Amino acid sequence: MFKLIKNSILYAPESLGKKDILICGEKIALISDKISPNLPDVEIIDANGKTVTPGFIDQHVHITGAGGKHGFQSLTPEIALTEFITCGTTTVVGLLGTDGATKSLKALYAKTKALDNEGITAYMLTSYFGLPPITMMGSVLEDMLFIDKVLGCKVAISDERSSFPTAKELLSILKDVHVGGLTSGKKGIMHVHLGALKTNMQLLLDLVEQYDFPIRNISPTHVGRTAPLFEEAIRFAKLGGMIDITTGGTKFDEPYKQVLYALDKGVPIENMTFSSDGNAGLGVNDKDGNLVGFKKAPIDLNYKQVQKLVKEANMPIGQAIQLVTSGPARNLSLTQKGRVFVGGDADLCLFDSNFNLTDVIARGRVMMKEKEILVRGSFEKKD
């Protein structure tokens, strides 16, 4: 029932120095300079000077698969639990992409619950790229109200695969996620896929500047796809918005360099997040550019980009990890996630002196120990 982590260097994400951490069930029970191990039924985990951080949050993963750009055979399969564990992701938000037909919301909900049952924490967004929104209960409002796992709605703009929504159509969605969130006790976000068309994210800026809609409910992603788009994202962030930098997929520069650039332009780290866009479908080309196969988009790039901020940019750990801990928790209003505090969920990552991930604890359960996977998905075999 009890787990006691001894001799950790804790970033919560702020640096708290050397601490012991007591876990009771799925919660953090106590954080102190020194906690006696003389407790009944306690498992001792000697961190031995390892860095401990909150578990990572990835707010954009295609958990039921995506793809399909090159025929039915290019659709990616569902994601496996260990793919999350090996990169420190203990909380995930699943969503649909372009395809709202072969990939359904009901299947997305089922996979969300399955990941919960397997040991991490999972949520989802309703709808997909297009309009009108597809829902489970009949409307975005009712999905927000009556489906506990739904945190918001997905939509796309500035993309040839989108429905080219107008400002008023987006305002209608925003009204539903906002009002549904008020009643259901959620923040409610409209998570906006940004494509590569030259309209960029002007439509979202209009929602804030012309229609005066609360910016906190608007969650743009893929903001680093092109340099002109990123300049508009910086403007959005300076208005108080949260911008989500995709660590996979198309980008004008490495994501960690985008963060450094935005910081230099005056955007606080608190207004930026990383997400992977993991498990989307990618084509594999030969040296002549011919399509020769397919692969799944990786989900470990958030971890790798945070590593680069720490190792290559010399950013303090407590600052870098905000992009995958307290930042997304704030964007999604997950009050028990993204921080290490007494009463919070016991989601933890442990790193060695080179900031390599060694151990993962999700909801108080040790999922990976010294890089060995201890908990696998229902249909995963041990290597």
Task: Find the radius of gyration of the CA atoms of the chain.
Answer: 20
Give the DSSP letter string of 287-353: TTS-EEEEEEPPS-HHHHHHHHHHHTS---HHHHGGGGTHHHHHHHT-TTSSS--TTSB--EEEE-T
- What's the rounded Cα separation, in Å, for the pair 268 and 283? 35
Q: Contact at 8 Å (CB) between 75 and 65?
A: yes
Beta strands in 95-141 (DSSP E): 121-126
- What's the rounded Cα separation, in Å, for the pair 63 and 91? 12
Q: Contact at 8 Å (CB) between 246 and 276?
A: yes
Residues forming beta bridges with residue 190, ordered by sequence position: 153, 218
> Which H/E stretch holds residue 169?
helix 167-184
Catalytic residue positions? 277
- What's the rounded Cα separation, in Å, for the pair 56 and 120? 11
Residues forming beta bridges with residue 269, ordered by sequence position: none
Residue whose entry in the numeric block shows the structure tokens 């750009």? 69
Residues forming beta bridges with residue 376, ordered by sequence position: none
Measured in whole angstroms, how far is the alpha carbon of residue 248 from the centre of its chain? 12
- What's the rounded Cα separation, in Å, for the pair 360 and 379? 20
